Chain A
Amino acid sequence: MKRLFVSFLVCMMMLSGCTVEEKEPPKTLRLTTTTSVNDSGLLEYLRPYILEETNINLEIVSLGSGAALEAGKRGDADALLAHSPAAEKTFVEEGYGVKRSTFMYNFFVIVGPSGDPAQIMNLSAAEAFKKIESAKSQFISRGDNSGTHSKEKAIWKLTGLDAEAVSTDTSFYVSAGSGMGATLTMASEKQAYTLTDLATFLSMKSKLSVNVIVSESPDLRNDYSIIVINPDKVSNVNVETARAFEAWMLSERALKLIAEYGKDTYGETLFFTE
Chain B
Amino acid sequence: MKEIFDIILTSLQVSLSSTMIAAVFAVPFGLYLGLSTKKTALRLRPVFSSLAGLPPVLAGITVFLLLSNAGPLGSLRLLYSKPAIVTAQVLIVFPLIVASVYPLVLPIKAVFLETCFGLNIPKKKQIRYLFSELRYGLLAAVLLGFGRAMAEVGAVMMVGGNIRYKTRVMTTAIVLETNQGNYSTALTLGIALLLISFSINWLVHGLFKEVSHDPLY
Contacts and interface: CB of A to CB of B under 8 A. Distances in A.
Interface of A: 63-71, 143-146, 168, 170, 174-179, 182, 186, 188-190, 209
B124 to A, nearest CB: 44
Contacts, number: 63
Contact of B157 (A144, A170, A182): A182
Contacts of B79: 189-190
A182 B161 contact: yes
Contacts of A170: 165-166
Given A182-B157, A189-B68, A66 B181 contact: yes
Interface stretch (B18-26, B143-151, B171-179, B187-195): B171-179
Contact of A67 (B80, B164, B179): B179
A70 B176 contact: no
Determine chain B's interface SS by DSSP, over half rule: loop
A237 to B, nearest CB: 17
Tell me the dominant secondary structure on chain A's binding face: mixed
**Residue of B79, B165, B176, B181 contacting most chain A CB atoms (<10 Å):** B181
B181 A64 contact: yes
Contacts of A182: 157, 161
Interface of B: 68-69, 79-80, 157, 161-166, 168, 172-173, 176, 178-183
Contacts of B69: 188-189, 209
7 contacts: A67-B178, A70-B181, A70-B183, A71-B181, A178-B161, A186-B80, A190-B79
A66 B25 CA distance: 44
Nearest to B158: A182
B78 to A, nearest CB: 11
B165 A66 contact: no
Given A170-B166, A186-B80, A189-B79, A66 B161 contact: no
Contacts of B179: 63-64, 66-67, 144, 179
A178 B162 contact: yes
A176 B182 contact: no
Contacts of A68: 181
Contacts of A168: 165
A177 B164 contact: yes
Contacts of A178: 157, 161-162, 176
